[in-house]
Amino acid sequence: MPWRPQNILPPIERPEINVEELAGKQMLPLEPRSILEQALDDSTMTPMSRFASVMEVLRFRGLYMGNAKAFSVVDIKGRETASWTWEKLHGRAEKISQTILEKTQLRRGSRVALVYRKSEIMEFMAAFYGCMMAGMTAVPINVIEEFAEMTYILNYTKSELALTTEYNHKALSKDLAMHKGVDWPLGVTWWKTDTLGSWNPKKKDGWPDIELPDLAYIEYSKAPNGELKGVAVSHRTVLSQCHTIKQSLGANPYRNCGTAPFAHRSNTAPVESKSPSTPTNPSSPSRRSSSVTPDSRTTDVVMSWLEPRQQVGLVMGGLLGVYRGSHTIFVHSGVTETPGLWAHCAHRYRVNLALGDYEGVRELLRFRPTEGAKKDAPSLTCLETFLIDAIMVKPLLDIQFANEFLTDMGVPAPHQVVIPMSSLPEHGGMILSMRDYLVFPKGADVIDFGFQYEVPRGPLPEPGTRLRPHGYLPASNTICHYLLDRGALKSNMIQVLATGEEALARASERGVVLVGAFGYAMPRGNITIPWFTSIVEDVTCLAGIMEY
């Protein structure tokens, strides 16, 4: 049967909105959404509010979930090349932290550069958390194309210490030898972290306190014109972002792994007696229990082909993976070019949450298994959410991916599984918006653009009355599609031609633009929509105006 969007009605009116007139009116923003429930660790039911930083969460994972898998790496051929437990990651990070504190004179908040290749993600994660545990500010250097760019970042951030691997240090030395007149940056000490080993102190030694500065790390990205831009991310921002995303993902009532479609899996159920009780002091060595393995029914498995060392790949993989205690698999982005390889990897690890982008989604569709191979297609019944990092929603591609790929893999309700996600690359990959099952923001009931896209719970309003009755709010998980007149956009006019199913049916007409909405703003967040002159080239803002 063809897919029909749920809770969507064609518009009753065809409003024409003058953007210039709206600019002169007072348009109050919606209030930030709040999170009512307390965040609990899925494995130990420990309140997450007791942790003041993600480093404390990592120490907690190493103490109470030591043998559980933390991160794994899969190469372009689908082979697992590395896999670390929480105990190993924690021990390596503590060793780096201890070495920095004992063998350097760096002050708290000093910049420490991290120079690692994409294939060295495990060493990068250990160094990333290790230098922050020592109270330093990490400076990942991932976007360099020339040695001069690395020198610029080192000098501009006044980094006195740089962490890398032995292989990478030899490769950099070889590159420098080929360029006469180019030498190592002055005043920077280079350490090879893969030779430092691990550190697990005895009970009598105790665990050192974690004293943190305001900044967690400084991330550099390249602008379209090639200019390097740095953004400083604070520990408070990291913790708030992880808490918000965890609650947003955890609000999904449909937990279907290993059961019938949409079987409920509660994340508040009591754990077995083997799980530790809520600790009074997560840093206490006397309460260490590395043999504890979290309940597999409440530990999610995340697989991502996004760049894991920066932006949204670091936020959703390296940071959120520690905060949620999930098993995160970093796969090579090239696995999407081999027919069936990504699906087989997802089936092997029983993935609950997948992360990707539209470029990889197109490759999955282009290199999907042939008709004869579909009989042996892997089952992805565990897949609950597929987040697509994008700057603009592509409704037709979302539907094609759900119908032609996820449906063949046995994913229940694939159209609800595919969720475009808006992030801010120029702000460290912070998540701006995505569909979820949390409460809608206060004030959404007074927004009326002259059309509705959701079926009310009750009798339809009488003709001539308000289209959306007071007290009736659009759900946070509603899939919204809008068809806009392209000619009106050129005149700074927003003319809605159709919504929902009708908008999809008329998307191939000439002179129209099909746009989709990401969803409400993330909890605790506000959205500011800047005024724009070239309205045609930024239809993403239009979807944002309508939805927010």
Sorted by where each begins, the domain ranges of the chain are: 16-34+439-547, 48-269+281-434
Give the angle 476-477-478 at the CA atoms, nearest 5°.
95
Q: CB 477: neighbour CB atoms within 10 A?
A: 19
Give the angle 244-247-248 at the CA atoms, nearest 5°.
80
Q: Would you state the pLDDT for residue 10?
A: 39
Residue indicated by tokens 């565990």: 382
Kindly report each contact of residues 403-409 with a partner whose C-beta sits within 8 Å and lies 24 or more positions away, as own/partner.
403/3, 404/365, 404/368, 405/364, 405/365, 405/368, 406/380, 408/368, 408/369, 408/374, 408/377, 409/343, 409/377, 409/378, 409/379, 409/380, 409/383
Residue (of 249, 269, 238) closest to 51 by Cα position: 238
Token pair, residue 177, equals 């030898």
The Cα–Cα gap between 504 and 481 comes to: 7
Tell me the chain's radius of gyration from C-alpha atoms: 25
Pick the CATH number of 48-269+281-434 from 3.40.225.10, 3.30.360.10, 3.30.1330.10, 3.40.50.12780: 3.40.50.12780
Residue 303, phi then psi, degrees to nearest 5: -130, 130
Torsion-angle region of residue 158: left (phi > 0), alpha (psi -120 to 50) or beta?
left
Token pair, residue 413, equals 């309700």
Q: Would you state the pLDDT for residue 198?
A: 83
Cα dihedral sign for 59, 60, 63, 66?
negative
The Cα–Cα gap between 237 and 214 comes to: 10
Residue (of 428, 420, 473, 414) closest to 446 by Cα position: 473
Residues in contact with 127: Cβ distance below 8 Å, sequence separation at least 6, in sequence order: 93, 96, 114, 116, 138, 163, 193
This prediction has a pTM of 0.81
Residue 50, phi then psi, degrees to nearest 5: -80, -15
Q: Are 483 and 506 in contact (CB under 8 A)?
A: yes
Residues in contact with 207: Cβ distance below 8 Å, sequence separation at least 6, in sequence order: 59, 201, 283, 284, 285
How, if at all, do strands 430-434 and 418-424 pair? antiparallel
DSSP assignment of 387-428 = EEEESS--HHHHHHHIIIIITTTT-SSHHHHEEEEEEEGGGT
Residue (of 342, 324, 430) closest to 386 by Cα position: 342
Q: Are 125 and 315 in contact (CB under 8 A)?
A: no
User: Tens digit of pLDDT per residue, the chain (548 long)?
Assistant: 334 333 333 343 444 545 445 444 445 667 777 777 788 888 788 888 899 999 999 999 998 888 999 999 999 999 999 999 999 999 999 999 999 999 999 999 999 999 999 889 999 999 999 999 999 999 999 877 778 888 889 999 999 999 999 999 888 888 777 776 667 788 899 999 988 888 776 654 567 788 889 999 999 988 777 788 889 999 999 999 999 999 888 887 766 554 333 333 333 333 333 333 334 344 443 344 433 344 444 678 999 999 999 999 999 999 999 999 999 999 999 999 999 899 999 999 999 999 999 999 999 999 887 655 556 778 898 899 999 999 889 999 999 999 999 998 889 889 999 999 999 888 888 898 998 888 777 766 666 544 444 433 334 334 333 344 443 445 677 788 889 999 988 888 888 888 888 888 899 999 999 999 888 888 876 655 544 333 333 333 333 333 32
Q: Would you state the pLDDT for residue 206?
A: 62
Residue 60, phi then psi, degrees to nearest 5: -65, -45
Q: Are 382 and 351 in contact (CB under 8 A)?
A: yes
Q: Cα separations (Å) of 287 from 106, 275, 436?
A: 31, 12, 37
